[in-house]
Amino acid sequence: MLNIRTFCAALAMAVAFSGISAAQSAFTTPTIDLGVVVTDIEKSVKFYTEGLGFKELPGFKVPAGFAADAGLTDGKELDIKVLVLGEGAGATKLKLMQIKGANPAQSKQEVIESQTGFRYLTLMVADTTASVERASKAGFKPIAKGTLAIPQDIAPGQYLTIYKDPDGNFVELVGPKK
């Protein structure tokens, strides 16, 4: 398994080779990554890979302390399986996670382990600073605690900021600061 910094660095390299320029869009890729909390990760991987044709990539872990400080969990480590639909840097990615010790419900989302289903979208942005300023002007604040409420360095030149949409769904912005 890769750690989150290695995964983000690899993802940043893939995005760099995607051929999309900042002049073309505010985003560095036209696809999104979708995170899904599941009750049985092996059954879910089998469904998406064997049943639907996704391919499994190396997964990664998010340490419990980072996950809690970023506002994702209440102190539980994330073990994430990464699946892709398609080939190359523009392929859609589905991140499946089963959090040990979590008891997900079907209707409440305070942190990502609080229920099953689609829990967050990852938007790869060309400029984290501009994206955070745009969200702030629209009245939205990051969910992270303390100093983590500002974009956090997760890999060389890559920063993370997490928001909730009006329905409580998580949306994370990942990209460079300019």
Q: Which domains does the chain have, with CATH numbers?
A: 2-175 (3.10.180.10)
- Output DSSP code: residue 90: T
3-state secondary structure of 77: coil
Question: Are 35 and 120 a contacting pair, CB within 8 Å?
Answer: yes
Structure token digits, residue 121: 């979208």
How much is the pLDDT for 107?
54
- Model's pTM, two decimal places? 0.61
How much is the pLDDT for 20?
44
Q: What are phi and psi of 11, to 5 degrees?
A: -65, -40
How much is the pLDDT for 62?
92
Strand arrangement, sheet containing 78-85: 2-3, 55-62, 78-85, 92-97, 33-37, 117-124, 170-175, 158-164, 152-155
Question: Are 26 and 131 a contacting pair, CB within 8 Å?
Answer: yes
Structure token digits, residue 137: 């002007």
Long-range contacts (CB closer than 8 Å, 24 or more residues apart) made by 8-13: 8/154, 8/155, 8/158, 8/160, 8/174, 9/155, 9/156, 9/158, 11/124, 11/158, 11/174, 12/155, 12/156, 12/157, 12/158
How much is the pLDDT for 64?
92
What pLDDT tens digit does each residue of the chain (178 aa) get? 445 555 555 455 454 545 545 456 788 888 888 888 887 888 888 988 866 678 999 999 999 999 999 999 999 998 899 999 878 888 889 898 988 888 776 556 778 787 777 677 787 888 988 888 888 888 888 888 766 667 778 889 999 988 877 657 688 889 998 8
Alpha-helical segments (H) within the chain? 4-16, 41-46, 64-69, 128-137
Question: Are 143 and 170 a contacting pair, CB within 8 Å?
Answer: yes
How much is the pLDDT for 2?
44
- Output DSSP code: residue 106: S
